[in-house]
Amino acid sequence: MGTIPVANPSPMRKPRFRREVAIIGALLSVVGTLAVVAVFAWPTGSKVDRAGWVTVGKADDIPLWQPVFNAEHRFWLVKLGDQTFLALSRRDPHLGCSIPWNPDFELMGRKGWFRNPCHDETYNLNGECVFGPCIRGMDRFPV
């Protein structure tokens, strides 16, 4: 009997990278990057309809070194020892968490601090950051 010729299998081809796939991938990457930038650049804070002065009471009625919260306008009013006042925003400058006054919290041998429950940032009566991953102190309003 004779031999039957058998065809050798062709070698595996290397996958070819098509130009169209590369162009579509690059476009999707650019569009995705622009979408991410737009999401982070878009302002998320509340809009202020009007800016103006607010009357909160008599200066003599505000206790010394004790922050008073104004719920209507959402800020802390602090009367300092030299009869000056500070108006501090209740919002965390980083992510906007509400910063409460904690009179029982003790740090560095002193009680009474603004303490951010979201990131454990601690601020003194002047709104200056004394502990934590703060990006800056509490925002101030003119008084």
Residue 89 has pLDDT above 60, yes or no: yes
pLDDT band at 87 (very low <50, low <70, confident <90, very high): very high
- Domain range summary for the chain, segments of one domain joined by +: 62-141
Interval 28-86: pLDDT, tens: 999 999 988 887 777 666 555 566 788 888 888 888 889 999 988 889 999 988 778 99
Of 5-19, 24-38, 120-134, least confident by mean pLDDT is: 5-19
69-103: burial string, b at 16+ Cβ within 10 Å, e else? eeeeeebbbbbeeeeeebbbbbbbbeeeeebebbe
Q: Which amino acid is at 107?
A: L
CA 84 to chain centre: 29
Residue 10 has pLDDT above 90, yes or no: no
Mean pLDDT of 87-113: 89
H helix intervals, the chain: 19-41
3-state class (DSSP) for residue 61: helix
3-state secondary structure of 17: coil
Residue with tokens 């309003």: 141
CATH superfamily assigned to domain 62-141? Rieske [2Fe-2S] iron-sulphur domain (2.102.10.10)
Residues in the chain, overall count: 143
